[in-house]
Amino acid sequence: MEKYIHKVQYYETDKMQFTHHSNYIRFMEEARTDFLEKVGFPYKRLEDCGIISPVIAVNVNYKKTTTYADNIEIEVKLKNFTGVRCEFEYIMTCNNNIVCTATSEHCFLDNNGKPISVKRTNPEFYNLMETLCEQNKN
């Protein structure tokens, strides 16, 4: 799948002129949103189906710095999927160097905030996510 590209904006840098570490989590969300759009299930569609998917954990490893106007290429993969939870993996590169690796874990809730089984709630989304997860294991 095509990588998501984020161009670092000036306001995303700190006093040392490096991209502030907190922004990488925002970049992950941008890339994850783009990923879901590309596979045919944007967040809006999930929400219209009564599914919300909050972040429950994030793990980020910073490898190299980036600065204003750098293009960060972000590869997103679905690493794990159970139907109740999922985990995305992110590899961020700039000028062919890995600058950050990360994961985010999500659960699936209904509009009232109660946990749901995606398999029962939306089999189409469940099958897609299972297929994507299997593709990444091969």
Domain boundaries, the chain: 4-137
The amino acid occupying position 137 is K
What pLDDT score was predicted for residue 101?
Answer: 98
* Nearest alpha-carbon partner for 73 in 98, 49, 54, 48: 98
Q: Whole-prediction pTM value?
A: 0.95
What pLDDT score was predicted for residue 1?
Answer: 82
Question: Active site includes 14?
Answer: yes
Helix, coil or strand: residue 132: helix
Helix, coil or strand: residue 21: coil
Q: Rounded to 5 degrees, what are φ and ψ at 93?
A: -125, 155
What pLDDT score was predicted for residue 136?
Answer: 83
User: Which of 14, 48, 70, 110 does the annotation list as catalytic?
Assistant: 14
What pLDDT score was predicted for residue 109?
Answer: 97
pLDDT tens over the chain, length 138 residues = 899 999 999 999 999 999 999 999 999 999 999 999 999 999 999 999 999 999 999 999 999 999 999 999 999 999 999 999 999 999 999 999 999 999 999 999 999 999 999 999 999 999 999 999 998 876
What pLDDT score was predicted for residue 124?
Answer: 95
CA distance 89 to 81: 12
User: How far is C-alpha 82 from the chain's CA centre?
Assistant: 17
67: which DSSP letter?
B
The amino acid occupying position 22 is S
Assign a CATH topology to domain 4-137: Thiol Ester Dehydrase; Chain A (3.10.129)
